[in-house]
Structure 1
């Protein structure tokens, strides 16, 4: 994939969207307007955007507990994401998922969870489904170093068709 000026500008635009979105979330959470915990993607914008823009728009993606930026990296609608975080029915999950359980199927985001490594089997299952259907999709999974100590990580590595 060639990094044209247009592509680089879009990458930078998405990194700024993530940063500004999470700065707004931080302010709203401080005022008590975001129910539950709000774990931010601040400082991880580049790795999120780089990975998300390396896959196709219809490819699958699973985030981790610092997941606001993941659907934004795939091009999700900011208004619907913010509505979700604020518990509004116009959110991507009708206000029921909140900050740590975003899923926006319109951009291939299968969801996130605060459980360490729990997205790995979800991403593996999506990849297996894509392989079996032959649709050429791939599955992108974000997780931290602690997740590599979880059984789900090792089980996913051993999944075969």
Structure 2
């Protein structure tokens, strides 16, 4: 079983990637009092998390200032890979709460054994995370106009064409 954690008042929160487009690995990174936690996430998780936080922020008072989320801190050594995430807002403390659950292999599918990470952060940090997440997702490979799958620089075998002609972007 992996290590669970809780950052009650994160002083650092960002998402980032390592590797070139098409081979990027996405990470969620948070820190508190000199401790840095890195979790491996998927591109779609970053997209959905950014959208969910943006929708939540739209219902709240606008953040006073939005700082940049920043780059990943080295070394990028993930504690575990994220399977599921939930986002909530604590009105009393004016903090967003992200709960991430470890992705388990099928043979280890007992959810009670999954590690859980809890992050509490400000609306300003949340807005910066949304901007950074959207920036990273949009910086990826463009989608094929026919099938929607990413276009690789080395070529693309489009399932919509049955491989008979190359798609043109």
Q: What TM-score bracket applies, with the shorter chain setting the length?
A: under 0.3
Q: Which protein has the bigger strand share?
A: 2
Q: Specify which structure has the bigger relative contact order, considering alpha-carbon pairs within 8 angstroms and separated by 6 or more residues.
A: 2
Q: Which protein has the bigger helix share?
A: 1
Normalized against structure 1, the TM-score is what?
0.27
- Structure with larger Rg: 2
